[in-house]
Structure 1
Amino acid sequence: MGVEVGSKLEGKVTGITNFGAFVELPGGMTGLVHISEIADTYVKNINEHLKVGDTVTVKVMNIRDGKIGLSIKKAIDRPDVPPRHQRERGDAFEDKLNRFLKDSEDRLSSLRKHIDKKGRSR
């Protein structure tokens, strides 16, 4: 299998830097897994997640100017979030926003009642 954007490949970690890890892919090509693409959680120290010589599954994210961008976290198959859950979250936000706007308007109208036309309070 060739190195194409979107393909998942097995590779071997050949080097670790403070910004990512270099992975040798089949065919002798090398790509970089940026520190933000190593795990779903915040990665402060790459050495806590990877070691030189580890075999990892990576997904090819991009190929630009002969450089290959890889991701370990996106190579992991996860079930998609059902659209129903996305709508529920969106509806909850809309409900909160509407309540906030109504409460704000109620408070403003209450304040306006207590202030006469010249800007003085009663």
Structure 2
Amino acid sequence: MKMKYKIGDIIEGKVTGIQAYGVFISLDKNTQGLIHISECRHGYVTDLDGFIQIDDEVEAKIIDIDEYTGKISLSLRAMEKLPIPPYPAKRKRRKRRYVPQIGFDTLKQKIPAWIEEAKEDEKVRKSIGE
């Protein structure tokens, strides 16, 4: 039996049944396909009854054909375009906190005095003969 459908084809069909795991689509008089619940739309689908009704006409894409059983897997999700911007997202820069410049000022003020003290101690040691 020669299949007239191939992967990648976009077909129109009528919803013939709804189960908890997916939606059955009649492609022609003798052929049915299944849209698994994960292929219905992007994101999480909890209830197919609110999403689609029996006898609705749908346009779907063939994503797989089982070569042994002839079962056809369809997707509505493959027909939707994702809202992806054409450019990469801009990285957010963190604001720098204002930190006052303190901390080393007291050392800056005291170091010359300490150096003078060390010089005087050195002179005293030399005079004593240590």
For the aligned pair, the TM-score class normalised by the smaller chain equals: 0.5 to 0.7
Moved over 4 A (4+): 77-81
> 5+ residue gaps in structure 1?
93-122
TM-score (norm 1): 0.61
Q: 1:13 aligns with which of 12, 15, 24?
A: 15
SS at match of 1:36: helix
Q: Which residue of 2 aligns with 1:44?
A: 46
Distance change (3 Å), C-alpha of 1:79 and 1:63: same
Per-residue deviation, 1:3? 1.4
- Residue 25 (str. 1) matches residue 27 (str. 2): yes
Deviations 1:69-95 (A, max 9, x none): 10011123568764x43xx57xx5xxx
> Do 2:41 and 2:80's aligned partners in 1 also have CA atoms closer than 8 Å?
no
- Residue 73 (str. 1) matches residue 77 (str. 2): yes
2:74 is aligned with what amino acid? L
Deviations 1:17-42 (A, max 9, x none): 11001000135310100001111231
Identity %: 35
SS at match of 1:47: coil
SS at match of 2:49: helix
Question: Aligned partners of 2:29 and 2:83: how far apart in 1?
Answer: 31
1:68 is aligned with what amino acid? I
- Please report the RMSD computed on the Cα atoms of aligned residues, expressed in angstroms: 2.6
> 5+ residue gaps in structure 2?
92-130
TM-score (norm 2): 0.58
Larger Rg: 2
Q: 1:56 aligns with which of 55, 58, 63?
A: 58
Aligned length: 89
